[in-house]
Every structure is written in C-alpha cells, then in structure tokens.
Structure 1
Amino acid sequence: MHDPYFDIRPYNDNEVSGVITRLSQSLELRRALVGYRFPSSPAWTRPALYWLVGWHLRRRLGAMTSVDEVQTWLVRWIEELINKTTSRVEVAGLDDMASGASYLWLSNHRDIAMDPTLINFSLHRQGWPTARIAIGDNLLHNPVLADVMRLNKSFVVKRSAASKREKLTELQRLSGYIKQSLDQGHSVWLAQREGRAKDSRDKTDTAVLKMLALSGRELKDDFTTTLTSLRPVPVLVQYEWDPCDVLKARELVARADGSSYAKAANEDTQSVIRGLTGYKGHVRVCFGSPLKDDMLADAHAMAAEIDRQIKALAVVMPVHRAALSLLQRHFNLATDVNPGQVDEACCRALLSRVQNEPEAVVRRLLLNYAAPLIEDETLI
C-alpha cells in the first residue's frame, strides 16, 4: 500500500530492527557515546571502548521490535541526563486536560533537542503517551542523528524545498501528516516558529499556523474548524541556564553587524549535543489551556493567544535579574525597570560564561537573559 508520508514520518515498528542494526554498527555513534560516558578516558583505551559500546548496544537493543520498547529503554538514559544537567524540573498544567486525548502541543523553541525531550519526559512522568516530534530537515544531514530522531517518534519538516510549488506541496503534506497523527490518537509537538528564539523573544509565527490549516483545504473547512479539530495547547519550556547561550550571542552579533554567518557543517549537531549535555539549572515545563472559539478566529488571533499564554506561564528567575543589573551597571541600559534583589553569585556566574568574549557578545548574552524583564523590544 502506498505510504504518502514514507520519507517524513517516524519509523514504524517493522523498521526498528533494521535501524538498530545500522546504529549499532555506526562508529560515529559509538564515538559520541564513549565521549559522553567516558570523557576522561585515555586515547589508547578508546578502540576497546568503541567495541564495548557497540556490543552493549547490540545486546540491549538487538531484540527490540517496537518504538515503544526503544522509548522505554531510553527513559533511564533521559532521566540520568536530566538529573545530571538540571537542578530540578517543574511540570504544571497537565492535570487540567484529558490524558486519553491527543493534543497539538505548540511550544516556544529555545533548544533543538531538549525542548521536545523535556515535553515528552514530562508527559511520560505523568502517565501520558509521548508525542510525535517535528524536526527540521537541516538536522538530518547526519544520517546517524536522523536515524536516532526518527526512531524516537520524530517526523521531518522539509525546509529545503527549492521552488514555491514544491514548498507548498511539502507544507500540505506536513499539515496532512499532523492531522492524521492527531486523528489516530497521537499527540504532536511543534515549535511556535521555525528555528530557536535565539534572542529569547518567544513570538508565534503565523506562517506555522497557516500551514496547520492546509489540512482542511480538501474538506473546504475554514481556519477555525480545522484548528479546533487539532486541539492546540500552548506550552512553555523555560530554562534557568542555556548551554548554547554564548553560541547564540555570537551568531546574533555577527548578523547584527551585517557579517555573513554561515553555519559550520556540523554546527546543528554540535548544538544538539551541547543542549543535551550542558547544565540547565531549574527547568519549567508548563502546559497552558486548550485554544478554542475566538482564540482560533484566524492565524493572528491564535498567535496572539499563544504568545499571551506562554508569557503568562513564565516566571522571573534570579539569572534574569542578575543580567539586567549587569546591563545597567556596565552598559548603561536605558530602562527604568528595577531588577529587584540581585544575586551577586549569579552575576559572577554570568560573567564567567563570557570571559574573553568581545564586549558586543557579552552585552548580547546579558540582553538574552534579561529579556523577560525588558518590555521595550527596541532595546533587545
């Protein structure tokens, strides 16, 4: 039977065994796992460790025949990763929704891999099924990462289509796949915009919402009818510390200067690894209220409500106050906002992250952390 979503959907259960065999034979994956698990191991021990990790993967995963088995095995690793890289994870809002229903989780986007990982971890911890995850095809240049992501319920958003006609075709197919997933009882995670909010300004892109509405074209359903059927819910993911903060600040400064910024061949992969393994401190995952009625009148009304809920769910953390205080002390930031009680240890921690960085990068990083306290976007 023809599968219209073959090249964008997650792997099915009958494909799991072949993917696991391919991954267990990947030297790149074994190197990455050894680097994570045994970062201080001497170089002469690496070949033996690569063999040992490959053997372990084959032994633990070789008999698995379903995505659920893989995700169940991954839970222990995810818990270990979260325990190592966060001080705590706070989850709120799920109790107000029906656990048996499928939802379209529309979240802000700060980290490539951790945003959906934390949302799925939060769902799993409270007894919910995990969601299917939308990822950009820019992440799939690395075949190992592509296999890992698609094995873990990820589906592909094709951003590299060449012509307008091809782009529209791919958007319609993506919209249809999301609608089909939800109709079949699978929740879906989608970021509120394409790409991370590197300046810490979480703004919903109406183009994303209009894409979702394409699934109603065939039935001639209007925007409100189509989006109501998708059961959209805004979600906030908030990090105390961003492991990619310096990288983001450097990129924003380069772009602001008019400099051309070309990503390195493995930059997205490195961002994934840094986001996963870097320290994040206090993390909050807050599920908002389902959108309905006038909130879904059109794409602009929907975007405004998503933005309102995400902003309302956020809290001010000590790092935000510290960043604003440093901006006022060292950069004469033109704002009347009082940072309130400032944690000087937090100030020192911020400055230690940007040692030896140019002044422009220091200012940009502090602006990113202070953004929740600064209403005047012209300052950001």
Structure 2
Amino acid sequence: MSKFDPIRPFYEAEANAAIRQIIDDPMLEAMMNFTFPNDNPSHWKDLMRHTHSLRDFQINFIYPALMMVLEKSSDGLTTGGFEALEPNTAYLFVSNHRDIILDTSLLNACIYEKGLVMTTSAIGDNLIKKPFLHMLSRLNRNFAIRRGLTGRALFESSLMVSEYIRKSLLNENRSVWTAQREGRTKDGNDVTQKGVLKMLTLAEDVDNPFGFFEKIRLVPVSISYEYDPTDILKMPELLAKSRDEKYIKHENEDFVNLLRGLLGTKKRIHIQVNGVIDQEIKAISALEISQSEKLSQLASLIDVKIWGGYKLWPSNYIAHDLLYGSDNFSSYYTKDEKEAFEKRLLGKVDTSNPVLVKSFLSMYAYPVDNSLKAKELDKK
C-alpha cells in the first residue's frame, strides 16, 4: 500500500489489468468508435489487450482521440515557446484553465510531439465520480484533488497532494500540470490563487517553504480558445455570482461540461509556453519579506506571464468593443468575424437580460484587459 493510493494514477504494472476492466464499457467503445471510425472494434480492442504501459495507452489511444477532436471541432492548434524546454527534464506547468479535459490533454499532446516529459495532471475528484471516468483518468496519468473538504481533512488532503507533486518532480523526473486556481476560470479573468501556490509548498521545509520553488522548474502556460465551447454552460454560475447567490451544480453538470468541451466548436486554439521563471523566483526568494508576501509576488508574476502569453483572437477584441460600445480594436477583426460572433451571442444568450450579455462578453473581453495590464507591468 502506498500513502498516495487514494489520489495517484495507475502504476505501469497495473495498466493492462485496468484496461481490461473497461475494454467493453459502452463509453470506451463510443470514444474509440469516434477515434477510429473506419476500424473494426476487434482491432483496437486487441491492441488495448496488448497495452502494458500508461505511455502506450496515452500515445496509441488518447492522442489519436485528441487529434480527432481537433479535426472535428476546431480550426487547428498552434503553439509557441516549447523550444525553451529541454528533453528528459521535469517541469511544473501552471496554466490558466478553461476546459475540464482539453487544457491538460492538448498540452500533453504537444509535449509528446516535441519529445518532452509528459505530465501527471491534477483533476478534481468531482469530475471523475463515474467509475469509467475514474479508471480512464488514472490511465491518463491524472491524480485526484479532493473537493468539498474543510478543516483538518482539507489540510491533510492538500499535504498529500503537495507530497505527491514533490515526489513526481524531484524523485521521478515526471512533469506536473496544475491550474493556476481551483476549478476553471468562468469569467475570463485568469488570476492565480495564492492558496494553490501555498499548497505546493506544504511538503517543504517549514522554515523556508518558498524554497520549494527554487528546487523545481516552474513554467507558466497560456491556453487560448477562439471560441470557448462551454461558454454558455458557464452562464448560470456567473448569473448567481452577480446576485451574490450560492451556485449549486445540477447532478450531471460536470459531465455535460466535459462532453461539450470535447465536441463543442472552438475555432482556433493556441498554447504558449512562457519560459522557466527560475531567475525571477530566486529574486523573490532573496527578498526580506514574509513567506505570504513571497507567494503573492509569485502569483502576480505567474499572472503577468500567462496574460502576456495569451493569444488574443478576433472574438476577444470583438467582445471588448461590444462590451464597451467602442470600435477601439476594430482593426483586429473583420466585419464577417464580428457578424459571426454576434450570431453566436444571439444564439446562446437571452439578450433581454443585460447581466447575461455582460457576463458573456466579459468572458471574452477580460483577456484583452489583462494583456494590456501585462504590457504595462513589463515596462516597469
């Protein structure tokens, strides 16, 4: 028994047995029929039965599934900054978070294509309550973050996650992906939660917890979708927030979001790797300020890197102009692009409700404001 059994992915030796448990699951069959539409199911099932490692499962089944998702629901994926990363090197990737499955899966696809160390990735346990999804996530090298805990249980769970991440990076040379905040950014304002950074330091020396960041290679990542496939699904929560009401998810909400994220329209997608921030971390660590203030400075640094690397699409500029009733960014989009975005807005949002319209537009407009902020801060 390992202390990490409640949260860890499968070990390599467990991979084949796990695959055999789900090989006849209708959800896996649907996924593989989508991935290999011209293939006889007996062929991919035979390949799966002879798969004995997580890497082979990811490369031979998850990767082609992602490529099919991109082909069917996007206008392509572009990347930048990967040339700054080295092979056989573990990185802690901290990214903005828009989509439940795609963010980390697309990053890993790029990492694989570029010959780098693929990640073990954080996923909320609320997203993998269905037995099939739980098995699939462990085969895809996800580790679980327990949600809904408080007090001592929350601390103990956070400490276990911190220890697991530390072990992955420093002992196993395994890269790690985590979002900059708990859960997805619903309103488009990508801000790093200091609590996430504090959690990462829990397993470090109590006299200098910030020292953890000097031992690893932290890489901020920006993920940009031209159209957020789950934009309309985020509206009820944003509406509740605008009324200062507690939002309660319906029973299958996470699963619906997961499917819409995979199959919904995205247009273009860009992933930007924003370099290893080792020198900046050393500078923060040397400051004679409290650990809390160091975490705040690191959170702000990650924000600026993510904002600066965010690829702004016509949808972002259009939304910003519509939100503020201006044409300040009209040179960044065409008449046809604006009409297409307005058609999406009209088709998805009850435009008689100004709060919904503002929330929808803000979701796309925020990255423009944050990009401008990043440029101003870079000048200082």
Of 335, 338, 344 in structure 1, the residue corresponding to residue 328 of structure 2 is 338
8 Å CA contact 1:204, 1:307 repeated in 2: yes
Aligned Cα root-mean-square deviation (Å): 2.4
Distance 1:97 1:34, change over 3 A: closer
Following the alignment from structure 2 to structure 1, what is the Cα–Cα distance between the partners of residues 225 and 305?
A: 17
Following the alignment from structure 1 to structure 2, what is the Cα–Cα distance between the partners of residues 194 and 345?
A: 37
8 Å CA contact 1:235, 1:285 repeated in 2: yes
Of 271, 279, 283 in structure 2, the residue corresponding to residue 294 of structure 1 is 283
Spell out the pairing of 1:233-248 with structure 2 (5 A cutoff).
233-248=219-234
Spell out the pairing of 1:43-122 with structure 2 (5 A cutoff).
53=41, 55=42, 57-74=44-61, 75-122=63-110
Following the alignment from structure 2 to structure 1, what is the Cα–Cα distance between the partners of residues 327 and 197?
A: 34
Q: Gapped runs of 5+ residues in structure 2?
A: 288-293, 374-380
Deviation at 1:66, TM superposition (A): 1.0
Deviation at 1:87, TM superposition (A): 1.7
Spell out the pairing of 1:119-134 with structure 2 (5 A cutoff).
119-134=107-122
* Residue 24, structure 1, aligned to residue 15, structure 2: no
8 Å CA contact 1:233, 1:289 repeated in 2: yes
Which residue of structure 2 lines up, in the alignment, with residue 255 of structure 1? 241
The aligned amino acid for 1:21 is R
Of 338, 342, 366 in structure 1, the residue corresponding to residue 361 of structure 2 is 366
Tell me the SS of whatever aligns to 1:146. helix
Deviation at 1:33, TM superposition (A): 5.6
Following the alignment from structure 1 to structure 2, what is the Cα–Cα distance between the partners of residues 100 and 32?
A: 31
Following the alignment from structure 1 to structure 2, what is the Cα–Cα distance between the partners of residues 281 and 31?
A: 24
8 Å CA contact 2:86, 2:116 repeated in 1: no
Following the alignment from structure 2 to structure 1, what is the Cα–Cα distance between the partners of residues 27 and 86?
A: 41
Distance 1:356 1:67, change over 3 A: closer
The aligned amino acid for 1:165 is R
The aligned amino acid for 2:20 is T
Tell me the SS of whatever aligns to 1:20. helix
CA deviations over 1:250-276 (Å, ceiling 9, x no partner):
321133124553212111111111111
Distance 1:98 1:256, change over 3 A: same
Following the alignment from structure 2 to structure 1, what is the Cα–Cα distance between the partners of residues 327 and 209?
A: 40
8 Å CA contact 1:137, 1:160 repeated in 2: no
Deviation at 1:373, TM superposition (A): 2.8
Comparing 56-65 and 309-318, the one that deviates more: 56-65
CA deviations over 1:302-355 (Å, ceiling 9, x no partner):
1011001111112332111211232344xxxxxx78123242222222232232
Of 152, 157, 160 in structure 2, the residue corresponding to residue 173 of structure 1 is 160
Following the alignment from structure 1 to structure 2, what is the Cα–Cα distance between the partners of residues 96 and 29?
A: 36
Deviation at 1:144, TM superposition (A): 0.8
* Residue 325, structure 1, aligned to residue 321, structure 2: yes
The aligned amino acid for 2:323 is L
How many residue pairs were aligned? 354
Tell me the SS of whatever aligns to 2:128. helix
Deviation at 1:37, TM superposition (A): 7.7
Following the alignment from structure 2 to structure 1, what is the Cα–Cα distance between the partners of residues 36 and 232?
A: 24
Tell me the SS of whatever aligns to 2:201. helix
Tell me the SS of whatever aligns to 2:330. coil
8 Å CA contact 1:246, 1:353 repeated in 2: no
Of 311, 318, 343 in structure 2, the residue corresponding to residue 315 of structure 1 is 311
Following the alignment from structure 1 to structure 2, what is the Cα–Cα distance between the partners of residues 221 and 91?
A: 39
Following the alignment from structure 2 to structure 1, what is the Cα–Cα distance between the partners of residues 2 and 363?
A: 43
Of 322, 334, 338 in structure 2, the residue corresponding to residue 347 of structure 1 is 338
Distance 1:125 1:28, change over 3 A: closer
Distance 1:356 1:269, change over 3 A: closer
Which segments of structure 1 move beyond 6 Å, counting only runs of 4 or more?
35-38
Which residue of structure 2 lines up, in the alignment, with residue 357 of structure 1? 349
Of 197, 200, 221 in structure 1, the residue corresponding to residue 185 of structure 2 is 197
CA deviations over 1:13-63 (Å, ceiling 9, x no partner):
22112211221232344356668888xxxxxxxxxxxxx75x455323111
Distance 1:226 1:12, change over 3 A: same
Deviation at 1:230, TM superposition (A): 2.5
Following the alignment from structure 1 to structure 2, what is the Cα–Cα distance between the partners of residues 129 and 288?
A: 17
Distance 1:372 1:72, change over 3 A: closer
Q: Gapped runs of 5+ residues in structure 1?
A: 39-51, 330-335
The aligned amino acid for 2:306 is I
CA deviations over 1:178-207 (Å, ceiling 9, x no partner):
000011110000101001111111100000
8 Å CA contact 1:135, 1:157 repeated in 2: yes
8 Å CA contact 2:232, 2:348 repeated in 1: no
